[in-house]
Chains A and B, each alone.
Chain A
Amino acid sequence: MMPEGMNSTAIVVFISFVAFSLFITWFAARKMHSVGEFYTAGSRITGFQNGFALAGDFMSAASFLGITGLVFIGGSDAMLFNVAVAVSWAFILFAFADRMRNLGQYTFADVVAYRLHPERIRVLAAVGTLTVAIPYLIAQMVGAGALFETLFDIPYIGAVLIVGALMTIYVVFGGMIATTWIQVTKAVLLVAGATALLIFVLARFGFSIDNVFDSAAAAHAKGADIFRPGGLYKDPISILSLGLAFICGTAGLPHILMRFFTVPDAVEARKSIGYAVGIIGYFMIAIIIIGFGAIGLLTGESEYVDNVGRISGGANMVSIHLSRLVGGEVFFGLMAAVAFATILAVVAGILLSASAAVAHDFYTRVVRKGKISEQEEVTVSRWASVIIAAIAIGLSVLFKDVNVGVLATIALAVAASVNFPVIFLALFWKGLTTKGAIWGGVTGLIVVVALIILSPTVWVGVFGNAEAVFPYTYPTLFSVAAAFIVTIGVSVTDYSERARIDRDGFAAQLVKSEIG
């Protein structure tokens, strides 16, 4: 592992990032006067800034560390994720940007509650948000703990507590203003770091992409077969399910949808997602090349990879090892600190969306029916953040050895199967009724959780059974279809008085969603 323990560059860069982020938080806290500033930074973020913040929200440590690891092990297969991500963001721009921004205020629940029964639908949205946010938070924090343990020799619990404490401070005192600027800073650092790594890697190959691929094939145990479609390409259903998990799942992530409301209008919302597509697309292409470069460069370096191809510290360490190999100790320290800053910024965004679901959607709108002062709502949000953070820290300590991949799959699959169908149909289908939305959402949730438990990852990987009951890793094709079918079926057979109000409300919603 780490030969000489602590890396001083990593510690200096990381402490500077933390100091800067706390300064941003202090600055944001002084400007925080209203609920709108707490949840959406007063909608004063520009499209360009928000583009970086959106990209930062999505480019988690999982994409930077995880995908290069996937390429290292499985070759071309990882490209299925990278392309899905870029397509998904473009789809969010085309389908959601205008209408979401024009209809919403703080959370995606504002949008679906526009014409549907506000209290009932917000309970569903809050459940949908929390079932995405909590597994996602735990996945990030467990990942951070493991990374910190390997990189800095800090005990796991210590790392989880540092992440937990910092994210709580950012959200409680700085709200969305601080979260946005920390996210922008991190996105710039991450893109710059990945670019530098890409240049260092390409320099080793004489700036020839051909050489990158040739030496990957020469170095890898599977030879040129790493370019062939591998284990993820089982059958069309697997491909459809994986694609839908990313395309619909990203469009249903509450902390990403919440960012639509930090800009003043639909024009800026479109622009911001346009920038995000560019940044994320570039990043996805860069990490594929870095991943193949890693195969050629790290294989045979016994300090990082043993003679059967096992990576020291696990597959997630590929980018970090590579940084050290091509850039030396200083660059390695820099990239380790950037990876950690990435996790910090992402968890802050997720925590804010979870506390908005509890404090805004559930407490303010359902329990108090909107009869609450701004001051009180902000106070409730702050307490909600503290409590959710405490729960996430507790669960991360408890489930230290949980499979992070399973948690991330759950978060994305729930977002695709519960949040996405409700938002999509609320925006585009007049016939959607409250009853249909709730039945569909509950169906999506039950189907997605049941199929993940029965899938190879959990049934075989966690419970140790010989064969999975449900053969596919991603349940999304089935769970998204079930949610849509039940929502539509229940809606068209809903003859209640409420259903009439829901359908009649579509005309007014359409006008507002198109022109703001």
Chain B
Amino acid sequence: MADELDLLNNPSFRRLISRRSRWRWGFSGLLISAYFLWGVAGIYFPEQYAQQFMGSSIPIGLAVGTLIIMMSIVLSIIYVRIINRIENEELVGEEKMT
């Protein structure tokens, strides 16, 4: 218990927590709000939803939906990489201290 409380006050550990949670909630918030904005927009702008996307025959609503799916994939890849880097930076210092 004492060790754990020591760790909680360790600056490197505190940075790990805050850096990780910034990405965690930032990315979650971004994706979930994109989803709900897109969904609710469909109620109020049905005409625009069905319009063709940039000269193709794809409806704008479906194109945006597809972009949100792609955004989920891209943000996931970025998240995995960033968190691995953060853990490497902060936990290397961590092990020296404990």
Contacts and interface: CB of A to CB of B under 8 A. Distances in A.
Interface of A: 76, 79-80, 82-84, 86-87, 89-91, 93-95, 98, 209-214, 217, 224-225, 227-229, 233-236, 239-240, 242-243, 247, 267, 270-271, 273-274, 277-278, 281-282, 284-285, 288, 507-508, 510-512, 514-515
Given A243-B35, A507-B8, A98 B83 contact: yes
Given A224-B50, A228-B50, A90 B75 contact: yes
B11 to A, nearest CB: 14
B72 A511 contact: no
A515 B94 contact: yes
Contacts of B1: 508
B42 A229 contact: yes
Given A83-B35, A239-B36, 14 more contacts: A90-B31, A90-B73, A93-B76, A209-B56, A210-B58, A227-B50, A233-B39, A233-B43, A235-B43, A240-B36, A277-B72, A278-B73, A507-B5, A514-B20
B46 to A, nearest CB: 5
Nearest to B75: A90
B45 to A, nearest CB: 9
A83 B57 contact: no
Contacts, number: 160
A82 B65 contact: yes
B79 A274 contact: yes
A271 B42 CA distance: 34
Contacts of A511: 4, 7-8, 13
Contacts of B56: 209-210, 213
A210 to B, nearest CB: 4
Contacts of A209: 56-58
A94 B28 contact: yes
A95 B25 CA distance: 8
B73 A277 contact: yes
Contact of B62 (A79, A86, A91): A79
Contacts of B73: 86, 90, 277-278, 281-282
A453 B40 CA distance: 26
A201 to B, nearest CB: 15
B23 to A, nearest CB: 7
A233 B68 contact: no
A434 to B, nearest CB: 20
Given A79-B62, A80-B39, A514-B17, A273 B76 contact: yes
A80 B79 CA distance: 24
A229 B24 CA distance: 31
Interface centre among B25, B31, B77 (most CB of A within 10 A): B31
Contacts of A227: 49-50, 59, 61-62
Nearest to A272: B80
A228 B49 contact: yes
B65 A233 contact: no
Nearest to A277: B76
Q: Which 10 A-B pairs have the closest CB atoms?
A: A227-B59, A229-B42, A210-B57, A90-B72, A213-B57, A239-B39, A227-B50, A86-B72, A277-B76, A86-B69
Contact of B76 (A79, A83, A239, A274): A274
Contact of A284 (B31, B61, B69): B69
B60 to A, nearest CB: 9
Nearest to A282: B73
24 contacts: A79-B62, A80-B39, A83-B35, A87-B34, A89-B72, A90-B28, A90-B72, A90-B76, A93-B79, A94-B79, A95-B24, A211-B57, A212-B57, A233-B42, A240-B36, A270-B83, A274-B80, A277-B76, A285-B69, A288-B62, A512-B4, A514-B13, A515-B13, A515-B94
